[in-house]
Amino acid sequence: MKPAKSPSFAEFIVLIAVMFSMIAFGTDAMLPALPQIAADLGLSDVNRAQLIVTSFILGTGIGQLISGPMSDALGRKPVILGGLALYALGCIVAYKVNSIEAMLAARFFQGLGVSAPRTVTIAMVRDLYAGRIMARAMSFSMVLFVLVPAVAPLIGQSIATAFGWRAIFLSFVLFALIGMVWLWLRQPETHPPERRRAVTFANYKSAIVEVMTSRIVVTYTLVLSFAYGALFGYLSSAQQVYVDVFGVGTMFPAYFALTALISGASGFLNGAVVVRLGMRALAVVAFSAALVANVVMLIVVLLSPADAAWMLPAFILWSVVNFFVPGLTFGNLNALAMEPMGHIAGMASAVFGATSTLLGVAVAVPIGLFFDGTVLPLIIGFLICSTLSLGLMLTNPKG
């Protein structure tokens, strides 16, 4: 059964936003349950529970190198649908496992599957749009990507309280099925047979060489890597910071939601002004603001008593500023990197997405594992990432 007609621009934006948000939901809904998972799976070091998050993200990074080229050869829809099926299967396996090793393997395969909607959807957007219009479409879709963290921990905590933490994986399956049905019924294929490229070693090699020898693509890949690293590090440490450092207990999802809801406005702002102001300029402003916020927060942490009454409000304000950054950068960086690669959109999206995700994980793991009962490792990690991101943005050609 084929769609009768293409969906409206608004429906297309919501559809791709749903595809993007599956990664965010698959990550953030787990956060409140990490201590219980660690206890049930026999982990003596609670910090190791963070690997449940990073193994999932690692799978998404590697999976993009597979799903992107496949979508260039087979079309966008079959690859997305197949990826979502693998994701759902991985969730069912995770629902059953009883060891941390099996859990990490299941989470890795979930990441492999969900990489398809993440990567191939960007290629789908590039099939239809280019330049600042593509950035505008990506910005509006990123609103949901940023807003999902606002509700995901609360949903995860509610499910875990009512049915146990394993039931969270069943909610992932339901979300995947909704996305599969919607895509199948409503979205036509955007990559027709006459534009497809066979998955051969020669084509794979030539596309990788073209992507990795483009200064523009490589620079924006590194910028996004550091931005991802900071965000992933925050997600890995957030539950411990709010609960162990600030003692908010079961109110953690509420504080997390407050941060994400306020920051979600950044996507609307970017979508409204990016056509007029440009993608690069907005990203430079965002990373500059983050750098200032990180320097100020570092000074506050170093000069203030650990139990000062203003530390929690200061941390929330700092979080809002840094959560504002993805809405003003992620969509723009994707559009900037993909702009010269429309003829190999699937492969370019795969290399760009996989490299930035894997490097982001490499940055995030030490940020999370260095957690020492204070917010200092997280602040320092963000400061380093924002400094490097801004420096790379200022060295890249304006074209």
pLDDT tens for 1-34 read 455 467 888 899 889 888 988 988 998 898 889 8
Q: What angle do CA 24, 239, 160 make, to 5 degrees?
A: 70
pLDDT in tens, 82-119: 999 999 999 999 999 999 999 999 999 999 999 999 88
CB atoms near residue 307 (< 10 Å): 8
For residue 384, is pLDDT > 90?
yes
Query: Are the C-beta atoms of 152 and 283 separated by less than 8 Å?
Result: no
Please count the other Cβ atoms lying within 10 Å of the Cβ belonging to residue 371: 21
The token pair at 108 is 């890795």
Q: How far apart are CA 362 and CA 246, in angstroms?
A: 27
Distance CA 47, CA 238 (A): 12
**Would you call 306 helix, strand, or coil by DSSP?**
coil
Band (pLDDT 50/70/90 cuts) for residue 398 is: low
Phi-psi region of 75 (alpha: psi -120 to 50; beta: other; left: phi over 0): left
71 close to 123: Cβ distance less than 8 angstroms: yes
Q: What is the mean pLDDT of residues 289-310?
A: 90
- For residue 399, the model assigns a pLDDT of 47
CA distance 115 to 206: 22
The DSSP secondary-structure symbol of 8 reads P
- What residue type is assigned to position 389 of the chain? S
CB 227 within 8 A of CB 389: yes
Residue type, 333: L
* pLDDT surpasses 90 at 286: yes
Average pLDDT of the residues in 133-137: 76
How much is the pLDDT for 46?
A: 67
Predicted local distance difference test score (pLDDT) of residue 249? 85
Q: What's the pLDDT score for residue 1? A: 44
User: Residue 18 is encoded by which pair of tokens?
Assistant: 């749903």
Question: Phi and psi of 311, rounded to 5°?
Answer: -65, -40
Separation between Cα atoms, residue 246 and residue 155, nearest integer Å: 22
CA angle 289, 290, 295 (to 5 degrees): 100
What angle, rounded to 10 degrees, do the helices at 345-369 and 51-74 form? 180
Per-residue pLDDT averaged across 118-131, rounded? 84
Percent of the chain whose predicted confidence (pLDDT) is above 70: 95
CA separation for the pair 60, 58 (Å, rounded):
5
Taking 90 as the threshold, does the pLDDT of residue 161 lie above it? yes
Return the pLDDT at 351. 81
**CATH code at 9-184+207-395:** 1.20.1250.20
- 95 compared with 252, residue with greater pLDDT: 95
Q: Nearest Cα to 104, choosing from 174, 39, 50?
A: 50
CB of 267 closer than 8 Å to CB of 140: yes
What is the arithmetic mean of pLDDT over 217-226?
A: 91
* pLDDT score at 143: 67
Which tens digit of pLDDT belongs to each residue from 321-354?
998 888 788 878 878 887 777 777 677 777 887 8
Asked if the model's pLDDT at residue 145 lies above 70, the reply is: no
| pLDDT, position 355 | 85
